[in-house]
Amino acid sequence: MDISAVILAIGLIIESCVAFDPLPARENFRNAIADCKNKIDINEDEMHNVMRHIIPKTKNEQCMVACLEKKIGIMGDDNKISMDKVQEKFARMKQHREDMYNEVMKNIEECRALETTETDECVAGRKFAECMFPKITPFRPPRHFAPHFSNRYIAECKNKTGIHENEFRNYIMRQIPETKNEQCMLACTEKRIGYIGADNKINITKVEQHLVHMNKTNPELYHKILDIYTDCQAVETIETDECVAARNYAKCVFPKQKQLHPARHIGKA
C-alpha cells in the first residue's frame, strides 16, 4: 500500500491534526507507521484494513491500532485514552475551529467512558477501534480510496494553483471551494486521480476502480457512494473551465457526502 496516500488516516483524530498542521502531522504519522510496522509483522491486507478503519480482527491489526495510537499520544502507557494528550494535540484546532474541536472531544470522551482496564495493549487497541471506528467510517473519496493519490500530486497542484495555506485547509476539509485557488486545486487533484475526466465531468469508471476494494468489504457503503457520483454526474453541465467544473462538482458531491456521514464533514455545507 502506498503509505504516502494516507493523508488523513486513523479517523477524525489524524484528519484534524493534518488539517491544522499538515506537514508535521503527515511526517509524524509516516514515522509512526514505519516504527509500528517494524515492531509488528503485519501483512499488507491487515495494514489495508487498519488504514480503512475496519474493526481489527487479527492480533496484528489490533496491535497496529494500539501502536499507532500510542505513537501519536492518544493512548497512554496504561492502555487508556489520555485526554490531557488529546487536548494538547488539538490546542490549535480549538483556536481556529471550536465546533470541530468539540466534535472530536465528544467522540473521544464517549469512547473513554466505555474503557475498561486492559493489560494487553492489543486488546485495548481492538476496543478503541470498536468504539471509535464506527464514528469515523472511512468515506472521503478520493483521499481514502485512491491508492495513487500521493503527496506528489498535492505538491504539483499546490505549485500549479498557488493556493494559500488557509485555502489549502479548506481544501483538505472538503469544504465547498469559494476562491478560484480552491476550485482549481480541487480540479487539479480530482483530475490527477481520475474522478474528473478530461472533459471536466465525473468519470464513473474511475470512481468504481478506486472503490473496488470497498465493494468487497462494505458493499452497502460502496453503492451509497457510487450513487452520489452517479446522481451528480446526471445533473452536470458542460464546462470548459475546469475550476468552475470542480466548484459545481463540490456543490453536488460534498453535501451528499456530509449527509451520508456528518461527523466526517464538519464545516461548510
| CA atoms of 85 and 104, how far apart (whole Å) | 13
DSSP code of residue 262: G
Q: Any idea of the CA torsion for 109, 114, 117, 122, to the nearest 10 degrees?
A: -80
DSSP code of residue 81: B
| CA atoms of 268 and 201, how far apart (whole Å) | 23
Packing angle, helices 59-71 and 121-132, rounded to 10: 80
73-117 confidence digits (pLDDT tens): 888 899 998 888 888 877 777 777 777 778 778 888 888 888 888
What's residue 15's pLDDT? 46
| CA atoms of 94 and 181, how far apart (whole Å) | 26
What's residue 4's pLDDT? 30
pLDDT cut 70: percent of the chain above it: 80
What's residue 263's pLDDT? 42
DSSP line for 54-89:
PPP-SHHHHHHHHHHHHHTTSB-TTSSB-HHHHHHH
Radius of gyration of the chain (CA): 18
193-231 confidence digits (pLDDT tens): 889 999 999 999 998 988 887 788 788 888 888 999 999
pLDDT at 178 > cutoff 80: yes
| CA atoms of 88 and 203, how far apart (whole Å) | 42
pLDDT tier for residue 240 given thresholds of 50, 70 and 90: very high
Packing angle, helices 59-71 and 22-39, rounded to 10: 140
Please state whether the predicted TM-score (pTM) of the whole model is above 0.85: no
pLDDT at 130 > cutoff 90: no
Q: What is the mean pLDDT of the chain?
A: 78
Is residue 97 exposed (0-12), middle (13-18) or buried (19+ Cβ within 10 Å)?
Answer: buried
The region of weakest confidence among 3-12, 28-37, 234-243 is 3-12
Q: Euclidean distance between the first and final Cα of the chain, in Å?
A: 32
- Cα–chain-centroid distance for residue 140? 6
